[in-house]
Amino acid sequence: MPPSFWTLVTLLGYAVVILFLILPLFNIFKFSFIDKETGVLSLSNYAEFFSKAYYRVSFTNSLFVSVGGTLGCLLLGIPLAFFTTRYRIFGKSFLSTLAVLSLLSPPFIGAYSWIMLLGRNGFLRQLLAGWGIQFPTIYGPLGIILVYSLHYYSFVFLLTCGALTTVDRSLEEAAENLGATGLRKFFRVTLPLVLPSVTAGALISFMMSLSNFDTPMIIGGNYRVLPTLAYNLFTSEVGERPGLASTVSIFLILCSSLVIFLQRYAAGRRKYSSSLVNRPLVKSLKGWPAFGAHLVCYLIVFLSTIPLAIVAFYSFRKTSGPVFHPGFSLDSYLKIFHEVPKTITNSLLFSTVSVVLIVAVGTLLGFILARRRTVPAKALDPLLMIPYMIPGTVLGIGFIIAFNRKPLYLMGTGIIIILAYFIRRLPYSVRSGASILKQIDPCLEEAGINLGAPPARTFRKVTVPLMLPGILSGAIMSWVTAINEISASILLYVGKTMTMPIRIYLSIMDGYFGNASALSTILLVVTGLALYVMNRFFEGPKESFVA
């Protein structure tokens, strides 16, 4: 008997995992134990990492900015979520769309906008200096924490919103009936009910802060964190140290695995909410309380969106080389269309091809996880979690080590970038496929089979059409994250495979802010359009952006 359709799909899943995850990771692991002088197996890299304060400090730095960023996210995300879900806030959906847009744009856009405002020649800083106020520059850990907070708070915001809108109203009414009102009700009943979601949001923020590479590169000054250390060690033209970079990568993976573990634990406890509930009432506020609530909400969203506005603003400024002049023009756009049209087509091509792969493979594997009870199918689940734990920089390093020799020589091709996008986003796609399937009664598929449609045909005729809305909105999300990806592709690109985020990053580093702004604006518009399509045509809670 030939192997069944789903057996073949399971095999495909294992092929993907082994080739694009296990192999690169194993290579990193191996490299971390190879001595740079002798080339033999040893613990010298680890010894060096621990013995030199230069390396050790980047570890504590990483923790510091991640904790700081996470606290900032909680501080911004929880009040915004509470006010927008419980009180009538004018322009609520506009606010949450902006929050999502700022989340999905690459963080380095935020980083360099803040430099434009509060950097050495920052616009705001000079304005203040004109009034005699000396404002400190933004470079360093505080700048990083500021950018993380204003960027990743949407995770906390969206997850908390989701939980707050599905808390059964009767629970809060019961609390009131039993005599708990106001803050007491919030802290004793409401907050504990949504705490698992808040925790999950905080852990995602932490994880993202920990693995982010571009923000510290741009705004960090000399402040080193683990991802930038790994990147520099690996790519440095003088004295590159792939072994030590691998060791740093191992530490990063260990940290993020721990966080993921905690996050799964928190998510596993997110059981309170259900979809069949009395939705909480949305109250109307009047007078000062109404003003206060609006002020808080608009201020938070304004601060997180201002980088995007600044980028768009500067993209229309007159420039000559790196210098901005008074007045407006389309120079920057003309220049990028003239000089780097390839980066735009590359970005579109790579992200589109990767999304096709992500959707096809993710949906099939999602089916395996949700429906198949065989041991190999179950074992695939934790394996597919691995990409969650690998920061982009680490994946990039792993890909370089794994695919720079025959028979899989992929360096310098678009394929390797597509594969990096694909593997980074695959677990999200698998998960969302599986969770959509869990809402589809397996009886429907059994009915299809019982009526004579073989498994593959049943999948095509019954399962896929039912999953389609979920698949399409997931595909848009994947596309958006792919087109904004930088931390893995920055290691994998060559001149002819450069993408928009990489070009933007390089322009910022070279001081060509005009070009960077114009490209960033294009990227933002594309991202915004995709989000618009998704909101317009697919229903569904906004948490799906992050979960």
Partner 1 sequence: MTSIRLEGVDKSFPGVRALEAVSLTIEAGEFFTLLGPSGCGKTTLLRTIAGFYRQDKGHVYLGEELIDAIPPHQRETGMVFQNYAVFPHMTVFENVAFGLRNRRIGGAEIGERVDRALRMARLSGLEKRTPDQLSGGQQQRVGLARAMVIEPRVLLMDEPLSNLDAKLRIEMREEIRDIQRQLGITTLYVTHDQEEALVISDRIAVMKAGKIQQIGRPWEIYKNPGSTFVASFVGDGNFLEGEALEGGDGGLVTVKAGSTRIRVKRPAKALKKLRLFFRPEELTVLSGQAREEEGCSLVGGKIRKVTFTGSLISLSVDCGGEAAIAVQRHRPEVSDILAPGTPVTVRIPLEAVLLFDPETGERL
Q: Which of 341, 376, 465, 541 is in the footprint of partner 1 by CB under 8 A?
A: 465
Q: Which of 18, 43, 334, 451 is in the footprint of partner 1 by CB under 8 A?
A: 451
The amino acid sitting at 258 is L
Least distance to partner 1, CB of residue 540, Å? 17
CB 519 within 8 A of CB 504: yes
* Cβ partners under 8 Å of residue 380, min gap 6: 10, 13, 14, 17, 365, 368, 369
Q: Which of 340, 385, 453, 530 is in the footprint of partner 1 by CB under 8 A?
A: 453
Residue closer to partner 1, measured from CB, 309 or 464: 464
Q: Which of 136, 268, 376, 454 is in the footprint of partner 1 by CB under 8 A?
A: 454
Q: Taking each helix axis from N to C terminus, what angle separates 226-235 and 242-268, rounded to the nearest 10 degrees?
A: 150
Binding positions for partner 1, 23-52, rule CB under 8 A: none
Least distance to partner 1, CB of residue 371, Å? 12
The CA distance from 439 to 470, in Å, is 11
* 3-class DSSP string for 438-466: HCCCHHHHHHHHHCCCCHHHHHHHHHHHH
Residue closer to partner 1, measured from CB, 368 or 419: 368
- Assess 461 for contact with partner 1 (CB under 8 A): yes
Residue closer to partner 1, measured from CB, 150 or 471: 471
Least distance to partner 1, CB of residue 468, Å? 8
Tokens 């210098």 correspond to: 323
Least distance to partner 1, CB of residue 451, Å? 3
How many chain residues interact with partner 1 (CB under 8 A)? 19
Q: Which of 34, 180, 340, 466 is in the footprint of partner 1 by CB under 8 A?
A: 466
Least distance to partner 1, CB of residue 442, Å? 9
Stretch that binds partner 1, among 37-45, 318-326, 460-468, 499-507 (CB under 8 A): 460-468
Q: What share of the chain is helix, strand, coil (3-state, %, to 5)?
A: 75, 5, 20
* Cβ partners under 8 Å of residue 62, min gap 6: 210, 225, 226, 227, 255
* 3-class DSSP string for 131-182: CCCCCCCCCCHHHHHHHHHHHHHHHHHHHHHHHHHHCCHHHHHHHHHCCCCH
Least distance to partner 1, CB of residue 454, Å? 5
Residue closer to partner 1, measured from CB, 178 or 443: 443
- Assess 450 for contact with partner 1 (CB under 8 A): yes
Identify the CA nearest to 384 among candidates 343, 355, 426: 426
Neighbours of 134 (CB within 10 A): 7
Least distance to partner 1, CB of residue 449, Å? 5
Least distance to partner 1, CB of residue 275, Å? 17
The CA distance from 131 to 120, in Å, is 16
Stretch that binds partner 1, among 112-120, 121-129, 196-204, 458-466 (CB under 8 A): 458-466
| Burial class for 107, CB neighbours closer than 10 Å (0-12, 13-18, 19+) | buried
Q: Which of 35, 240, 455, 506 is in the footprint of partner 1 by CB under 8 A?
A: 455
> What is the SS3 assignment for 95?
helix
- Assess 375 for contact with partner 1 (CB under 8 A): no
Stretch that binds partner 1, among 22-30, 338-346, 388-396, 450-458 (CB under 8 A): 450-458
CB 404 within 8 A of CB 411: yes
Least distance to partner 1, CB of residue 450, Å? 4
CB 457 within 8 A of CB 436: no
What is the pattern of x (binds partner 1, CB under 8 A) and - over residues 429-448? ------------x-xx-xxx
Residue closer to partner 1, measured from CB, 309 or 447: 447
- Assess 452 for contact with partner 1 (CB under 8 A): yes
Identify the CA nearest to 397 among candidates 219, 242, 201, 531: 242
Q: Which of 330, 449, 494, 509 is in the footprint of partner 1 by CB under 8 A?
A: 449
- Assess 534 for contact with partner 1 (CB under 8 A): no
- Assess 462 for contact with partner 1 (CB under 8 A): yes
The CA distance from 182 to 175, in Å, is 10
- Which DSSP state fits 272? S
Residue 413: which region, alpha, beta or left (left: phi > 0; alpha: psi -120 to 50)?
A: beta
Least distance to partner 1, CB of residue 452, Å? 4
- Assess 538 for contact with partner 1 (CB under 8 A): no
- Assess 289 for contact with partner 1 (CB under 8 A): no
Stretch that binds partner 1, among 87-95, 271-279, 453-461, 534-542 (CB under 8 A): 453-461
The CA distance from 75 to 533, in Å, is 31
Least distance to partner 1, CB of residue 374, Å? 12
* 3-class DSSP string for 183-252: HHHHHHHHHHHHHHHHHHHHHHHHHHHHHCCHHHHHHCCCCCCHHHHHHHHHHCCCCCCHHHHHHHHHHH
Identify the CA nearest to 111 among candidates 212, 226, 210, 222: 212
Residue closer to partner 1, measured from CB, 454 or 541: 454
- Assess 472 for contact with partner 1 (CB under 8 A): no
Binding positions for partner 1, 339-368, rule CB under 8 A: none
Cα Rg of the chain (Å, integer): 24
- Assess 458 for contact with partner 1 (CB under 8 A): yes
- Assess 376 for contact with partner 1 (CB under 8 A): no
Binding site for partner 1 (CB under 8 A): 441, 443-444, 446-455, 457-458, 461-462, 465-466
